[in-house]
Structure 1
Amino acid sequence: MKKRIIFTFLIVSLISFSAVVRIKDIAKFRGARDNQLFGVGIVVGLNGTGDGGSLNSPLLANMFKNFGIPISESDIKSNNTALVMVVADIPPFYKEGMRLDVVVASLGSAKSLENGVLIQTPLYGADGNVYAVAQGPVSTGGVEVKSSVNLQSRFKVTGYIPNGALIEKEIPSNIVSENSITILLQNPDITTSARVAAAINQKFDLKLAKANDPASIKVQIPDAFLDDLITFLSIIEELEVVPDQAAKVIINERTGTVIFGGDIRISDFTLSYGNFVVNIQNGEIEGQEATISNLISALKALGATPQDIIGIIQELHKAGAIFAEVKVM
């Protein structure tokens, strides 16, 4: 005998409660962006796990030459050194003397960078200028863990140097253009863009902001803040809005996980799936609405497995009964 779930759904006005967040948490100012730095260096002090060939010989020879020690490239054969690529991100407004975290990765045949030390390496921007120098001991993570088959072995040819780079030159950041600034949303959305503009205009009681598109809002700087831009920006950052987002259900079939946001509604339907017959009619069930959340709770109460629930949600989506985007991973 099939188990039967009967939903009687009353047509009511749904109120969606979304998080109130600061503009600072969902957007940034145009011109205030990270920049990527890179360089090629040498890690020394390896315990026989280095390149062991001639790949890094030219760099080592030049280094010795700068120290006044003439040596031929052919004479340099070391298993204790490794040629590496060094990369870092420099956030906006960082000044000379501040520090950055860096990542190093082997370019040659080194087996491990563990316990090695990166020798001073200039880090270049996309324009070819040096903006920082990196140096320091390389960390490849904690000790090997062999007690669980679910843990991945450490990847020892990639390492990290916390605060390993020293900024030598500031990258200019310009966020003002024609006495205005532009706010860029991290997740472009038409409704959110309009709400941000409305919040700014309401705060200053002036029509300063205009949503240009789903991603950007242009804001005119009032005369009172032309010589105090930081205060103006801080006021904007602290304004609170309710960001909008499309309803979405994310399904991970491998782990049996279903993630969804808000009360995603379901239309009337009747579905026979395995031992279950799901029937949502124009009504309610125990005073609850026909939503994904309530459907999952009811199915779990009847003993449905994660695979059953995922299968039912997928079939409902195919039939157009779920008012949301469904993404299967």
Structure 2
Amino acid sequence: MKKKIIIALLIVAVFSLSAVVRIKDIAKFRGARDNQLFGIGIVVGLNGTGDGGTLNSPLLANMFKNFGIPISEEDIKSNNTALVMVVADIPPFYKEGMRLDVIVASLGSAKSLENGVLLQTPLYGADGNIYAVAQGPVSVGGAEVKSSVNLQSRFKVTGYIPNGALIEKEIPANIVSDNSVTILLQNPDITTSARVATAINEKFSVKLAKAVDPASVRVQIPDAFSDDIITFLSIIEELEVIPDQAAKVVINERTGTVIFGGDIKISDFTLSYGNFVVSIKNGEIDGQEATISNLISALKALGATPQDIIGIIEELHKAGAIYAEIKVM
């Protein structure tokens, strides 16, 4: 016998409360961006788990030559060394002498980089210049456990060196152009862009900011801050806004997870799905309106499995009954 759920839609004015956040948490200033660095180096000190061939022999031979030790490539066939790619991100405004975290990954046939040490490796930017030098002991992380699903097993051909790179050259960053700065939203949105501009203009009681497009807000620097731009930017960063967000439901079919934000509305419908007949009409469900949240609660109360709930949500979306974007992972 099929179970029947009658869900009625109560028509009321509902205002969804979103989180109030700082501009600093949802945007960055144009020009203040990370840059990627890379290099190729040698990890030594491996306990027989290195490349074991001639792949890294030319590099090692050149290193020995630089130290005044003549040795041929043919004489170097060590299982204790590995050729690796070294990568790092350098944040904006980082100066000479500051340090970066480094990731290393095997390029050859090494079985493990565990307990190895990266030899001094220059790190290049996209322009071909050296901006940092990396060196240090490699940590492969993870855990040697099989009993817990919460711990990630070791993946030993990639590694991590905390503070493993020393910056040798600063990458110039300029965030001021034509006496203005541009704020770039991490998640472009027309409404959020307009709210950011409004918050800035209200703070300074003058129209300094203009929303150029969903991703950017241009702000003029007032004369009072012409010689103290950092203070002006810090004031902007601390201003609070309510970012707007389109209704979205994220479904992970593999884990049976449904993630949604806000009170996502559902229109009238009748759906027959397996042992369930789901029907939304003018009325109520437990004194509440028809939303994704209330629908899921009702289905769970009647014993629906995560797969049942996901299947019903997907069918409702296909029928146009859910007023939200559905993303299936």
Q: TM-score range by the shorter chain?
A: over 0.9
What per-residue deviation string (whole Å, max 9, x for no partner) do you get for residues 115-151 of structure 1?
A: 1111111111111111110000011114422335786
Q: Amino acid of the residue matched to residue 180 of structure 2?
A: S
- Structure-1 separation of matches of 2:240 and 2:32: 21
Q: Give the Cα separation in 2 of the matches to 1:14 and 1:138.
A: 54
Output the amino acid matched with 2:139.
Answer: S
The structural deviation recorded for 1:236 is 0.4
TM-score (norm: length of structure 2):
0.97
Aligned sequence identity (%)? 89
- State the match for 1:168 in structure 2: 168
Could you say what secondary structure the match of 2:61 adopts? helix
User: Equivalent residue for 1:285?
Assistant: 285
Q: Secondary structure at the match of 1:212?
A: strand
- Cα distance in 2 for partners of 1:142, 1:287 equals 49
Q: Deviation digits for residues 217-247 of structure 1, max 9, x if unmatched?
A: 1110001111101100100000011101110
Q: Distance in 2 between matches of 1:152 and 1:32?
A: 34
Instruction: Determine the structure 2 residue equivalent to 1:19.
Output: 19
18-27 vs 311-320, greater mean Cα deviation: 311-320
SS in 2 for 1:304: coil
Distance 1:143 1:299, change over 3 A: closer
Structure 1 counterpart of 2:219: 219
Q: Contact 2:21/2:242 (CA < 8 Å) preserved in 1?
A: yes
Q: Secondary structure at the match of 1:154?
A: coil
Offset at 1:61? Answer: 1.3
Which position in structure 1 is the counterpart of 2:36? 36
1:108 matched residue in structure 2: 108
Aligned counterpart, 1:254: 254
Distance 1:155 1:10 in 2: 53
- Provide the residue aligned with 1:63 in structure 2: 63
- For the residues of structure 1 that align with 2:81 and 2:114, how far apart are their CA atoms? 11
1:299 maps onto 2:299 in alignment: yes
Equivalent AA in structure 2 for residue 308 of structure 1:
D
275-284 or 13-22: which moved more?
Answer: 275-284
Cα 1:149/1:210, change in 2 over 3 Å: closer
Cα deviations by residue, 1:78-99 (Å, 9 ceiling, x for unpaired): 1111111110000001111111
Q: Map Cα deviations across residues 236-292 of structure 1 (whole Å, 9 max, x no partner).
A: 000011101110111111211111110000111112222222221122223201101
Total equivalences in the alignment: 329
Q: 1 CA distance for matches of 2:247 and 2:283?
A: 22
Deviation at 1:7, TM superposition (A): 2.1
**Unaligned residue ranges in structure 1 (runs of 5+):** none
Q: Secondary structure at the match of 2:97?
A: coil
Coordinate RMSD, CA, aligned: 1.3
Structure-2 separation of matches of 1:12 and 1:195: 26
Please give the secondary structure, in 2, of the residue aligned with 1:294: helix
Structure 2 equivalent of residue 266 of structure 1:
266
Aligned partners of 2:298 and 2:83: how far apart in 1?
A: 59
Distance in 2, Cα, partners of 1:149 & 1:258: 20
Deviations 1:160-207 (A, max 9, x none): 100000111111110000000000000001111111111111111111
Q: 2:88: which partner in 1?
A: 88
For the residues of structure 1 that align with 2:254 and 2:116, how far apart are their CA atoms?
Answer: 39
Counterpart-to-counterpart distance in 2, 1:211 and 1:65: 59
Corresponding residue number in structure 2 for 1:6 = 6
Equivalent positions of 1:222-237 (< 5 A) are: 222-237=222-237
Q: 1:208 maps to which residue?
A: 208
Q: Which digits, 9 at most, give the CA deviation of each residue in 1:32-51, with x for residues without a partner?
A: 00000111111111111111
Partner Cα distance (1:227, 1:30) in 2? 20
Q: What's the secondary structure of 2:293's corresponding residue? A: helix
SS of residue in 1 equivalent to 2:213? coil
| Runs of 5+ unmatched residues, structure 2 | none
Work out whether residues 143 and 153 of structure 2, in 8 Å CA contact, stay in contact via their aligned partners in 1.
Answer: no
The alignment partner of 2:203 has SS state of helix
Residue in 1 that maps onto 2:146? 146
Cα shift at 1:4: 1.7
Find the aligned partners of 1:163 and 1:285 in 2 and give their Cα distance: 56
* Higher mean C-alpha deviation, range 6-15 or range 83-92: 6-15
